[in-house]
Chains A and B, each alone.
Chain A
Amino acid sequence: MRIAAALLLVVLVAIHADAQGVVAPSALTQPATDSWPMYNGDYSGRRFSPLMIVNSSNVQSLSLGWTHRITAEGPAGGGGSTSAVIKGTPVVVNGVLYVTIPDHVWALDARSGRELWHATWPSRGGWHIGNRGVAVLGTSVYVSTPDCHLLALDNRTGKEKWRTEICDLDQFYYASAAPLIVKNHVIVGVSGDDLDIPGYIESHDPETGAMQWRWYTHPEPGTPEAKTWPSIEAMRHGGGMTWGSTTYDPELNLIYFGTGNPQPVINGRKRQGDNLYTESSVALNPDTGKLAWYFQSSPHDTHDWDATQTPVLFDGTIDGEPRKLLAQAARNGWFFVLDRQTGRNISSTEYVKTNWTSDLDAKGQPIPNPRKEPQVDGALVSPNQAGGQNWPPPSFSPETGLFYVNATRAFSVYYLYENENDDKPQGWGGNDRGGWSEAMLLGLDYQTGKARWRFSWEGSPTTRSGLLSTAGNLLFAGDSANNFVAFDAAQGVPLWRAGLHASITNGPITYQLDGIQYIVVAANDTLYAFAATAPAGQP
Chain B
Amino acid sequence: MTAMRPHHRGLLAFIIAVGGLLPPAMLRAQGGPADRQKVDPAAAARGRTVYAAHCINCHGSSAKGGPNGPDLIRSTAALRDRLGSHIGPAMRAAAGSHPATLTAEQIVDLSQFLRERVEAVARNRTPTAPIDVLTGDPEAGRTYFFGAGRCSTCHSPTGDFAGLRSRTPDALTLQQRFLFPTLTRSEKRVEVTVTPLSGAPVSGTLVRVDNFRVSLRDASGDYRAFSRVPGVKVEIRDPLTAHRDLLDEYTDDAIHDVVAYLWSLK
Chain A partners chain B: yes
Chain A residue numbers with a CB within 8 Å of B34 are 76-78, 123-125
Q: Pick the contact of A434: B61, B120, B180 (CB < 8 A).
A: B180
Chain A residue numbers with a CB within 8 Å of B8 are none
Query: Cβ of B35 and Cβ of A419 under 8 Å apart?
Result: no
Q: How far is the CB of B240 from chain A (nearest CB, A)?
A: 9
Chain B interfacial positions (CB closer than 8 Å to A): 21, 25-26, 28-36, 60-62, 64-65, 71, 73-74, 76, 79-80, 118, 120-129, 131-136, 175-176, 179-180, 208-212, 244, 247-248, 250, 252, 255-256
Among residues of B, the one whose C-beta sits closest to the C-beta of A79 is B30
Query: Cβ of A380 and Cβ of B211 under 8 Å apart?
Result: no
Among residues of A, the one whose C-beta sits closest to the C-beta of B171 is A377
Query: Cβ of B124 and Cβ of A483 under 8 Å apart?
Result: no
Query: Cβ of A426 and Cβ of B64 under 8 Å apart?
Result: yes
Please tell me if A359 contacts chain B, counting CB pairs below 8 Å. Answer: no
Evaluate whether A426 and B124 lie within 8 angstroms (CB atoms) in the complex, with A435-B180, A483-B211 already known: yes
Evaluate whether A458 and B211 lie within 8 angstroms (CB atoms) in the complex, with A78-B31, A170-B36 already known: yes
Query: Cβ of B30 and Cβ of A377 under 8 Å apart?
Result: no
Q: Which of A154-211 contact B (CB under 8 A)?
A: 168-174, 191-192, 194-196
Evaluate whether A426 and B121 lie within 8 angstroms (CB atoms) in the complex, with A174-B31, A375-B252, A497-B212 already known: yes
Residue among A146, A264, A433 with the most chain B CB within 10 A?
A433
Q: How far is the CA of A191 from the CA of B120 in the complex (A)?
A: 20
Chain A residue numbers with a CB within 8 Å of B76 are 168, 170-171
Please tell me if A460 contacts chain B, counting CB pairs below 8 Å. Answer: yes
Chain A residue numbers with a CB within 8 Å of B36 are 125, 170
Q: How far is the CB of B42 from chain A (nearest CB, A)?
A: 23
Chain A residue numbers with a CB within 8 Å of B121 are 194-195, 420, 426-427
Q: How many residues of A contact B (CB 8 A)?
A: 73
Query: Cβ of B30 and Cβ of A80 under 8 Å apart?
Result: yes
Please tell me if A431 contacts chain B, counting CB pairs below 8 Å. Answer: yes
Chain B residue numbers with a CB within 8 Å of A415 are 127, 131
Query: Cβ of A196 and Cβ of B74 under 8 Å apart?
Result: yes
Chain A residue numbers with a CB within 8 Å of B125 are 265-266, 427-428, 430-431
Chain A residue numbers with a CB within 8 Å of B252 are 371, 375, 378-380
Q: Pick the contact of B124: A76, A376, A380, A427 (CB < 8 A).
A: A427
Q: Pick the contact of B210: A79, A170, A460 (CB < 8 A).
A: A460
Q: How far is the CA of A126 from the CA of B256 in the complex (A)?
A: 39
Among residues of A, the one whose C-beta sits closest to the C-beta of B119 is A194
How would you classify the secondary structure of chain B's contact residues: helix, strand, loop or mixed? loop
Query: Cβ of A380 and Cβ of B255 under 8 Å apart?
Result: yes
Please tell me if A494 contacts chain B, counting CB pairs below 8 Å. Answer: yes
Q: Pick the contact of B179: A237, A413, A456, A485 (CB < 8 A).
A: A413
Query: Cβ of B123 and Cβ of A127 under 8 Å apart?
Result: no
Q: Which of A101-142 contact B (CB under 8 A)?
A: 123-127, 129
Q: Pick the contact of B255: A78, A378, A434, A460 (CB < 8 A).
A: A378
Query: Cβ of B247 and Cβ of A380 under 8 Å apart?
Result: yes
Query: Cβ of B247 and Cβ of A436 under 8 Å apart?
Result: yes
Give 12 new A-B contacts, CB below 8 A, not counting A264-B124, A431-B127, A483-B210.
Answer: A126-B32, A191-B31, A237-B74, A371-B252, A378-B131, A413-B175, A431-B26, A431-B125, A458-B210, A459-B209, A483-B211, A494-B212
Query: Cβ of B31 and Cβ of A79 under 8 Å apart?
Result: yes
Please tell me if A225 contacts chain B, counting CB pairs below 8 Å. Answer: no
Chain B residue numbers with a CB within 8 Å of A472 are none
Chain A residue numbers with a CB within 8 Å of B61 are 422
Residue among B33, B123, B247 with the most chain A CB within 10 A?
B33
Chain A residue numbers with a CB within 8 Å of B35 are 77, 124-125
Chain A residue numbers with a CB within 8 Å of B64 are 422, 424, 426
Q: Pick the contact of B25: A80, A125, A428 (CB < 8 A).
A: A80
Please tell me if A305 contacts chain B, counting CB pairs below 8 Å. Answer: no
Query: Cβ of A125 and Cβ of B33 under 8 Å apart?
Result: yes
| Contact code string A393-436 (vs B, CB < 8 Å = 1, else 0) | 00000000000000000010101011111101011111101111
Q: How far is the CA of A375 from the CA of B132 in the complex (A)?
A: 10
Please tell me if A457 contacts chain B, counting CB pairs below 8 Å. Answer: yes
Query: Cβ of A411 and Cβ of B247 under 8 Å apart?
Result: yes
Among residues of B, the one whose C-beta sits closest to the C-beta of A191 is B31
Chain B residue numbers with a CB within 8 Å of A429 are 124
Cβ contacts A to B, 24 pairs, < 8 Å? A78-B31, A79-B30, A123-B34, A124-B34, A125-B33, A126-B31, A129-B30, A170-B33, A371-B252, A377-B256, A379-B252, A411-B179, A417-B129, A418-B129, A422-B62, A424-B62, A424-B64, A424-B71, A426-B124, A431-B126, A434-B180, A456-B211, A460-B210, A483-B211
Query: Cβ of B210 and Cβ of A457 under 8 Å apart?
Result: yes
Please tell me if A481 contacts chain B, counting CB pairs below 8 Å. Answer: yes
Q: How far is the CB of A106 from chain B (nearest CB, A)?
A: 24
Q: How far is the CB of A83 from chain B (nearest CB, A)?
A: 12
Q: How far is the CA of A237 from the CA of B127 in the complex (A)?
A: 22
Q: Pick the contact of B31: A194, A382, A422, A485 (CB < 8 A).
A: A194
Chain B residue numbers with a CB within 8 Å of A69 are none
Please tell me if A2 contacts chain B, counting CB pairs below 8 Å. Answer: no
Query: Cβ of B30 and Cβ of A194 under 8 Å apart?
Result: yes
Among residues of B, the one whose C-beta sits closest to the C-beta of A196 is B74
Among residues of B, the one whose C-beta sits closest to the C-beta of A494 is B211
Q: How far is the CB of B237 from chain A (nearest CB, A)?
A: 14
